Structure 1
Amino acid sequence: MIRMLLRVLGHEYARPVRRTVTLMTATAILEGLSYALLVPVLRALFGSTPEDARPWLIAFGTVVAVYAVLRYVADLSGFLAGTTLLRGMYHRLGDHLARLPIGWYSAGRVGEVSVLASRGVLQAMSVIAHLLAPLISACVTPLTIVVVILAFNWQMGLAALAAVPVVAAIQIWTGRSTAAADAERVERDREATGRVIEYLQAQPVLRAGGRTVERFGLLDDSLRGLQRASRRSALSALPGIVGLTLTVQAMFTVLLVLGAYLALGGKIGAAEILAILVLAARCADPLLSLAEMNGRLRGARSELARLDTVLRTEPLPEPSEPVRPERHDLEFDSVAFHHGDRTVIDDVSLSVPQGQRLAVVGPSGAGKSTLLQLLARFYDVDAGAVRIGGVDVRAIDTETLMAQIAIVFQDVYLFEGTIEENVRLGRPDADEAEVRAAATAARLDEVIERLPGGWAADVGEGGALLSGGERQRVSIARALLKNAPIVLLDEVTSALDPVNEQAVHEGIERLMAGRTVVMVAHRMRTIQRADHIAFLDGGRIIEEGGHDELLHRGGRYADFWNISLTPAR
């Protein structure tokens, strides 16, 4: 398990882990050896001169004091190593998740990543801080005590030693018999977490449908499945717990009977028998605690395995010799992209000269947004190439590529915090005047003036305390502050009221000025001002050209235009 832990974290953490394991092992050995002093203490106390026990008691007290200091140092080392590993794990997991392709984040992974990044990481990293010391103590201290018993009486020592392979066999058998049940429980747990998130996100739909007093069937089913899986997991571990308890009790009984037999035969004294039985009783507690620790260790190992699986997922490869583009023209060269078995983009070739605007239009599901995502390298193409300034985006390192691009999505996500903090995400080192200028250009200043707290107003989780139009203005201000030479717009005004649409449109016009732009849009006045228009359907370009040219052809774009101008009845 330690090897897996170091593989998940990286071997730069090997030294503190090994130091902690060494300290804990030495502590457990010293604890076992300290009990060896009970034999001379009891022998003296039951002998003709009890005062002879005084030096042995002093020695015992000294060893216990050294053990207490060593235990404190070992536990402190465990806690410090645990917090270091926890911090390192969060950093490594966060960095890795940020580099994975967007396509990896399927709907089913929401619950998985939520559980893994919260309870999963804590459970896996708690091994060093909370489980390692009692585990080592439960294994090493009884073995040390068995060696001590062997040193005083080989017959009773061998009897105690016979229990070691039995305990080991029970532990191995329990681990194997519970593996399937534990895996099912974890899977059910992940599914239930996903359903809880889905239930919370679906509240507007459920309430609009008048189902607020009904139970959510999918969530109830997943919770019942989790309950059944947890019960099976607990029951599968029960035989191991019972077997371990019986083994420990049987070992103590054998030692008691054997000790009585040897004492009656005059081969061992009563003091030695009493001391050995005390030592045997001391073995019982840590051995019995193995049953409880095994369940926690299996859970931690399971979380480590899932962390290992996620961290082994290949991110988008970074170029070994990155190239920085000198221009900002764009090109799609025979691009193809598949999502599973479905062809999303099929042999698309487009070019956007520097400083010009390309509008991509077409029906829903045509692949319009995917073109923007390929340009930002959220995915890698399956065929062809996407280029910026003549350089394949795969040859540009991620930091440089993202510095070239400002993206405004239809669905804006704001981080919980103030408006100013969310705007500053565009360029954290911007001065106050630049932030205020970006807000004014995006007409965000109007929003700030009417909000309690102004710039310090909290936007809520995901921007929930702002309207859709207000969130869009924050997003545009953020993009303006970034001041990137390439702008990607994804239907940013499609769901806004007329007032917000007008404000957002003015902000978008300022954002696009002098920049290379690719926009996915339905609003006609936005499309009209594009230098080039591509009509996409089924992942292929059906028509392309200027607005007037495409209208004159009377093809799919003209139909699209005419439908958009027809008032709804």
Structure 2
Amino acid sequence: MATAKVTDIEQRGRRLLRHLIRQERRRLLSAVLLAVAAVACQLVPYLMAYRVAVELVTEVDPDGGALTRYALVALVAIAAGTTLMGGALAISHLCAYWLLYRLRRRIANRLAVLPLGEVSRRGSGAIGKLAMEDVERIEVFVAHMLPDAVASLSVVAATTVWLFAIDWRLALAAVAVVPLALLGLRHATRGSGTWVAQWHGAGMAMNQAITEFLHGIKTVKVFNRQSDTVARATGAVRGYVAAETRWGTAFLPGGAAYFTVMAANVVVVVPVGLWLYRDGAVDLPTLLLFLLLSLGYTAPLTKLTGYSSQLRQVRFGADEIAALLDAPALPDTHQRVPLGPAAVELTDVTFGYRPDRTVLEGVTLRAEPGEVTAIVGPSGSGKTTIARLVARFFDVSAGTVTVGGVDVRELAVDQLMDTVAVVFQDPFLFHDTIRANLTLGQPDVDDESVYRAARAARCHDFILALPQGYDTIVGERGATLSGGERQRISIARALLKDAPVVVLDEATASTDPENEVLIQQAVASLAAGRTLLVIAHRLTTVRNAGRIVVMTDGRVVESGRHEDLLRAGGTYAGLWEDATTSARWSLGATDTRSGASR
């Protein structure tokens, strides 16, 4: 089964390469033809050298005019060959860049429709390697390898025919080393598929480790774990070096024999040629021509050998890209349907991120339109998972999730995204202006709407205080802003989206008291006239919610208003007692330290 699966992936990679080449087949064909013409021009100087040798050896008084013509023809051929090869490479590069553009767009479009779990499983480092490094190798294949390989094959074919046409005995001497060299190459490339797979896997692991290190650099510094994380990244780099070294070591004996024997054809041509010349079987011009051609005869073959190694890398990368492009997208009906009042309802929902671990089991709850519904519970109880299922980052294993009375799986994905806005605990801001981040997906929104949303989200004032106001660049992931400022901008972004359903995932979990008050005011603006589903860590922030749903171990154990749940004395009452006790303990500790300091 595993072998069949690998073979299927390899077939998809080959199909992808063929498809890419077919997209630009006309221009690539013209590039190949120009390359072949360039090769023909490259053979002309050898022919002219042969003609000069004949003139000098056979004529007592060589014709100076003829020698000059031969030299001029050789110069023109060299110039024409260089021009034609330049044109071939220019066309092939143009084709390659267009192919890269389209391929990267396909990768981006596929990532946009894949389930979040599939993207997370692959990892940003591995996906980054596919989109950058492996795609670049396809550019090298199309822009360089394809025309060069055709040119090299043309050189070998044309030279071989020419050599046999002149003297079949010397031609056999010139090509005699090729079969022996190929035996060495066969030994060198034995098991190369395994070596390439290990090398490629190590490269993806290295990219993932380095990407993870860079993304987590703040945490690494705060916890003073530089040595551990650097060691992990260094270990991944060493793994990559080791994989490449093993591959090179396996190739070395046969490869060295191949290149040595390939370069030794002149060792065969010289004695055979001198023997035939001594017996009068060949003349001196013919011997000189064979010596010239034999010196360069095997060079195109060795170039092709280098390309064959690169082609394995290209094909392996194409296999991985094809596997990503063929990964099943989140099913989309593409049907926009009428929705009822924007209620959110989960009915007997069961879900797990892995087949062997259930996160939610039999969850049923309802968030009413125009009301704040809070979901609370211990860490790991499944609160954030519910937010992801409502936004359909994943599909449920069993049960249904409905928005406006319609199963989210029956809605067009773009309609669902128009209907549901999500504000995450750690909002992502692009390395762009504040205005661009606020109007994400709505570039035509007017300035007054932007300002109105920013005021409602309590971020207008601090934005105006920035050096360029709304045109201030916020840095990578919003690094120049505080956590509370990023959170309020994400709420303003949700207000601008004007979706009838808003999901807030731990919006105040890591903010200071001042920012928490501002965010609460922003959330109040966000709640007006919308269905608001709040995933809450701090119970004090949701005590006034219309309904509080309490979860434990992936199940709903209680629901109701704050006062009712306290009177019931159940799980929520215990959580509330823990929260208030913790707050009193913190205040008491502060008072104690203050008294001590006094």
CA spacing shift, 1:547–1:69, aligned 2, 3 Å:
same
Letter in 2 for 1:351: R
State the alpha-carbon separation in 2 of the partners of residues 22 and 166 from structure 1. Answer: 31
Aligned residue number for residue 560 of structure 1: 575
1:45 aligns with 2:56: yes
Of 517, 521, 539, the match for 1:502:
517
Where do 1:457-496 residues align within 5 Å?
A: 457-496=472-511
Cα deviation, 1:428-449, whole Å, max 9, x if unaligned, reads 2101111111111111112113
Secondary structure, aligned partner of 1:385:
strand
Letter in 2 for 1:50: P
Aligned residue number for residue 342 of structure 1: 357
Q: Give the conservation status (yes or no) of the 8 Å contact 1:4–1:304.
A: no
CA spacing shift, 1:501–1:16, aligned 2, 3 Å:
farther
Secondary structure, aligned partner of 1:140:
helix
Of 507, 517, 527, the match for 1:512:
527
State the alpha-carbon separation in 1 of the partners of residues 111 and 48 from structure 2. Answer: 55
Letter in 2 for 1:232: R
The CA deviation at 1:257 is 2.4
Secondary structure, aligned partner of 2:264:
helix
Aligned residue number for residue 104 of structure 1: 118
The CA deviation at 1:112 is 1.3
Aligned residue number for residue 455 of structure 2: 440
State the alpha-carbon separation in 1 of the partners of residues 416 and 442 from structure 2. Answer: 15
Aligned residue number for residue 455 of structure 1: 470
Q: Give the conservation status (yes or no) of the 8 Å contact 1:476–1:508.
A: yes
Aligned residue number for residue 213 of structure 2: 199
Q: Give the conservation status (yes or no) of the 8 Å contact 1:33–1:145.
A: no
The CA deviation at 1:246 is 2.2
Aligned residue number for residue 69 of structure 1: 83
Q: Give the conservation status (yes or no) of the 8 Å contact 2:336–2:415.
A: no
Where do 1:360-399 residues align within 5 Å?
A: 360-399=375-414
Where do 1:289-438 residues align within 5 Å?
A: 289-319=303-333, 321=335, 323=337, 325=339, 327-340=341-354, 341-425=356-440, 427-438=442-453
State the alpha-carbon separation in 2 of the partners of residues 488 and 305 from structure 1. Answer: 38
Where do 1:235-254 residues align within 5 Å?
A: 235-254=249-268
State the alpha-carbon separation in 1 of the partners of residues 19 and 324 from structure 2. Answer: 10
Of 262, 265, 271, the match for 2:285:
271
Aligned residue number for residue 31 of structure 1: 42
State the alpha-carbon separation in 1 of the partners of residues 138 and 502 from structure 2. Answer: 42
Which sits farther off after the overlay, 205-214 or 149-158? 205-214
Aligned residue number for residue 240 of structure 2: 226
CA spacing shift, 1:8–1:347, aligned 2, 3 Å:
farther
State the alpha-carbon separation in 2 of the partners of residues 112 and 449 from structure 1. Answer: 40
Cα deviation, 1:370-396, whole Å, max 9, x if unaligned, reads 111111111112222222223222222
State the alpha-carbon separation in 1 of the partners of residues 77 and 57 from structure 2. Answer: 22
Cα deviation, 1:327-375, whole Å, max 9, x if unaligned, reads 4222223222121111012122233333333221111111111111111
Of 520, 543, 546, the match for 2:558:
543
Cα deviation, 1:479-534, whole Å, max 9, x if unaligned, reads 11111111111010111111111111111111111012221113335423333332
Where do 1:128-277 residues align within 5 Å?
A: 128-210=142-224, 216-277=230-291
1:91 aligns with 2:102: no
CA spacing shift, 1:383–1:35, aligned 2, 3 Å:
farther
State the alpha-carbon separation in 2 of the partners of residues 19 and 284 from structure 1. Answer: 26
Structure 2 residue runs of 5 or longer lacking an equivalent are 1-9, 586-598
Cα deviation, 1:74-96, whole Å, max 9, x if unaligned, reads 01111111211221222111111
State the alpha-carbon separation in 2 of the partners of residues 436 and 276 from structure 1. Answer: 81
Letter in 1 for 2:171: G
Q: Give the conservation status (yes or no) of the 8 Å contact 2:181–2:259.
A: no
State the alpha-carbon separation in 1 of the partners of residues 245 and 525 from structure 2. Answer: 61
Q: Give the conservation status (yes or no) of the 8 Å contact 1:9–1:92.
A: no
State the alpha-carbon separation in 2 of the partners of residues 258 and 301 from structure 1. Answer: 42
Secondary structure, aligned partner of 1:125:
helix
State the alpha-carbon separation in 2 of the partners of residues 353 and 46 from structure 1. Answer: 103
Q: So what's the TM-score if we normalise by structure 2?
A: 0.87
The CA deviation at 1:60 is 4.2
1:288 aligns with 2:302: yes
Letter in 1 for 2:397: D
CA spacing shift, 1:335–1:211, aligned 2, 3 Å:
closer
State the alpha-carbon separation in 2 of the partners of residues 325 and 164 from structure 1. Answer: 73
Letter in 2 for 1:265: D
Identity among equivalent positions (%) equals 33
The number of residues matched between the two structures is 569
Which sits farther off after the overlay, 254-263 or 36-45? 36-45
Secondary structure, aligned partner of 1:317:
coil
Cα deviation, 1:89-111, whole Å, max 9, x if unaligned, reads 22111111222211123376232
Letter in 2 for 1:94: A
Structure 1 residue runs of 5 or longer lacking an equivalent are none
The CA deviation at 1:320 is 5.8
The CA deviation at 1:401 is 1.7
State the alpha-carbon separation in 2 of the partners of residues 212 and 421 from structure 1. Answer: 34
Letter in 1 for 2:262: V
CA spacing shift, 1:348–1:251, aligned 2, 3 Å:
same
CA spacing shift, 1:349–1:499, aligned 2, 3 Å:
same
CA spacing shift, 1:112–1:320, aligned 2, 3 Å:
same
State the alpha-carbon separation in 2 of the partners of residues 323 and 162 from structure 1. Answer: 74
Q: Give the conservation status (yes or no) of the 8 Å contact 1:41–1:56.
A: yes
Letter in 2 for 1:452: P
Secondary structure, aligned partner of 2:387:
helix
Which sits farther off after the overlay, 477-486 or 125-134? 125-134
Q: Give the conservation status (yes or no) of the 8 Å contact 1:413–1:462.
A: yes
Letter in 1 for 2:475: G
Letter in 1 for 2:577: N
State the alpha-carbon separation in 2 of the partners of residues 470 and 498 from structure 1. Answer: 13
The CA deviation at 1:50 is 3.1
The CA deviation at 1:272 is 1.1
The CA deviation at 1:319 is 1.9
Letter in 2 for 1:248: M
CA spacing shift, 1:18–1:97, aligned 2, 3 Å:
farther
The CA deviation at 1:152 is 1.3
Q: So what's the TM-score if we normalise by structure 1?
A: 0.91
Which sits farther off after the overlay, 355-364 or 335-344? 355-364
Q: Give the conservation status (yes or no) of the 8 Å contact 2:38–2:80.
A: no
Aligned residue number for residue 521 of structure 1: 536
CA RMSD of aligned residues (A): 2.8
Q: Give the conservation status (yes or no) of the 8 Å contact 1:20–1:81.
A: no
CA spacing shift, 1:224–1:384, aligned 2, 3 Å:
same
Q: Give the conservation status (yes or no) of the 8 Å contact 2:335–2:410.
A: yes
